[in-house]
Amino acid sequence: MKIQARFKDMYKAASKKLFIKTFGCQMNEYDSNRLCDALKKIGYEKTYKQDDADCYILNTCHIRDKAKQKVYHEVGRVKKLYNHKKKPIVIIAGCVAQAENEEILKRESYIDIVIGPQSYHKINTILDNFNAGEKIEETDFDTIQKFIYFDKIKNTNSKVSTFLTIQEGCDKFCNFCVVPYTRGPEYSRPLQKILDEAKFMADNGTKEIILLGQNVNAYKNNGNKLSNLISEIEKISGIERIRYTTSHPKDMTKDLIEIYKYSKKLMPLIHLPVQSGSDKILDLMNRKHTIKEYIDVFDNLKKINPNIEFSSDFIVGYPGENDRDFINTLELIKKIKFINSYSFIFSPRPGTVAAELKLIDKNVSEDRLRILQRLLFENQIEKNKFFENKVLNVLVENLTKNQKQFFGRSEYLTPVIFNAKKTDIGKILPIKIKKSNRTTLFGEIVKDLNKKVA
């Protein structure tokens, strides 16, 4: 009878369903996967059916305005989904949870648990002891204990291209940014723990690892820097490509630049947010770098490898930005010719220095964004056009949504669509580019492997 009861309890536990909806950055995607790994320990299995969950997690982002409104909109949708069903345990996780914690619980009674990104190691205990009707808020900063906990749980992500968090938090305190308040101070994981996770990913079938951090090139642990970590991951059998994001110009140190001379697996695309082309605006933002320093990094890397390309982030309409500042930004874009970039109108975030500054006229900001994006898009079209009739190495990731063609990425992270076989997934294939648009390349597999790769 005891054995039967035990198996009955095990079956009951295994029948619990978990649904996670993820917003925002790559680190949130990594966190969501690790939450799934953790919750398996107490019997939760991931479901892709939104209306079939015993636990419903919204993993949120707080970088842009309206993030909080998105949370309440999603909770409203969940209410409708479960209108005639048993209510799931509703959890708000991530940066909105960290920033808005108590207010969220007070405003929306349907929410049961609010948990910040540095408290994820407590989620199993919280759910194991949860009683219906409770309201729980857990937003302590305990980054070290979080990683100690997750280092004991294997990362089951088996995607061809996989995120791996190596660093969290930021000490830069840019005046517009909430990261220091939602993710806390900089913390770098021990090098060996990262390597252990990377090796396990490789055993699972991962071919490309994207190293993540809010300030990833600030990685420092026991004398090791990001350059040391890249060199060690390079030695792992099965890993064919290495990327890292997001970087800060101030931390593009000589050793990191020099690693591009020696690494065979580090991809020639550098995402290096500049935010503005004006030194005045960079100073107002407290960015701690100048345009000259940014261009010096660009020039030094181009000397090492002229095929290296840059992508970036831009904030348009930052308080105090005038026409001259905006023109300086356009001139920087014309000089660097970014292969891809993200651009936004300034969005004041509560609790930051910039939240109290006077906004510039909305129409002016919108006009500037249109002009800036037109230039960025022209660069993208030109860069992609350049690859036509050339052969690129493409990592085959999966089928396209229509299930008729295959999707992969070039060394520059550009999406490539082509015909292939399922057995090609996980391989790096030479693809001759036949045509392109602003966002995507289209090609075919090269039969003659002796053809030169661009």
* Predicted confidence (pLDDT) per residue in 286-325, tens digit: 999 999 999 999 999 999 999 999 999 999 999 999 999 9
pLDDT tens sequence across 86-96? 999 999 998 88
Average pLDDT across the chain, whole number = 92
CATH hierarchy code of domain 2-140? 3.40.50.12160
Nearest-CA neighbor of 20 among 53, 42, 43?
53
Averaged pLDDT for residues 317-337: 98
Q: So what's the pLDDT on residue 213? A: 95
Angstrom distance (rounded) from CA 446 to CA 442: 13
Task: Say if pTM beats, i.e. exceeds, 0.75.
Answer: yes
| pLDDT tens track for 109-151 | 999 999 999 999 999 999 999 998 899 999 988 888 999 999 9
Just give the CATH number of 391-445.
Answer: 2.40.50.140
pLDDT at res. 1: 45
pLDDT tens-digit profile of 257-288? 999 999 999 999 999 999 999 999 999 999 99
Which residue ranges does the chain devote to CATH 2.40.50.140? 391-445
Residue 406's alpha-carbon distances to 197, 209, 400, 402, 447, in angstroms, are: 28, 20, 5, 9, 17
More confident: 60 or 211 = 211
Q: What is the pLDDT of residues 389-444, one digit of tens each?
A: 999 999 999 998 887 899 999 999 999 999 999 999 999 999 999 999 999 999 99
| CA distance linking residue 297 with residue 272, whole number of Å | 10
Prior bond of 22 cis (ω within 30°): no
Instruction: Please name the residues in contact with 250: beta carbons below 8 A apart, sequence gap of 6 or more.
Output: 172, 288, 289, 293
What are the residue ranges of CATH 3.40.50.12160 in the chain?
2-140
What's the residue count for the chain? 454
CATH code of 146-385, in short, is 3.80.30.20
